[in-house]
Amino acid sequence: MKVVIPGENHPQNISYDGHLEIDAEMSLKYLDNIKAEGFEIHDRTIELAKLIFKDITENNWESMGKGYKHVVGRISLSLTCIEAIVPFVWKYPEIHIHPAYHANIADVMIEINNILNGE
């Protein structure tokens, strides 16, 4: 798993050949697509989303704001990529999320890395 965040010395359009680039827009489209096809989010998605948003549940995430939804989509798509052995990159994971939650994103990244490593 790779993470791309904006910075002073980083070009805005970094590309990783062979990796699915998961950003907020893709995460939201993914949610729309699985819903339209009658699929559910990955089983572990809410468990990991709770590392960021303590108040999120299976029953309320769809009624939450854009920040919550793109995190749910990003996590679900990432877990699906892991199972399908598709390398991926998280682009700007902090976008649309209140700064108070930014540090919690790292907890999810650590847990996803643990899953990638079979832990």
Residue range 19-59, pLDDT digits in tens: 899 999 999 999 999 999 999 999 999 999 999 999 999 99
Q: Residue 3 to residues 14, 32, 106: CA-CA distances in angstroms?
A: 11, 24, 10
pLDDT reported for residue 3: 58
Residue 10 has pLDDT above 70, yes or no: no
Residue 100 has pLDDT above 70, yes or no: yes
Entry pTM: 0.87
Pairing of strands 2-4, 20-22: unpaired
Six-digit token pair at 106? 């790292």
Query: Quick one: 115 exposed, middle or buried, by C-beta within 10 A (0-12, 13-18, 19+)?
Result: middle
E strand or H helix at 116 = helix 102-116
Residue 4 has pLDDT above 60, yes or no: no
pLDDT reported for residue 17: 77
Instruction: Quickly state the pLDDT bin for 117 (edges 50, 70, 90).
Output: confident
Q: How many CB atoms lie within 10 A of CB 73?
A: 24
pLDDT reported for residue 16: 73
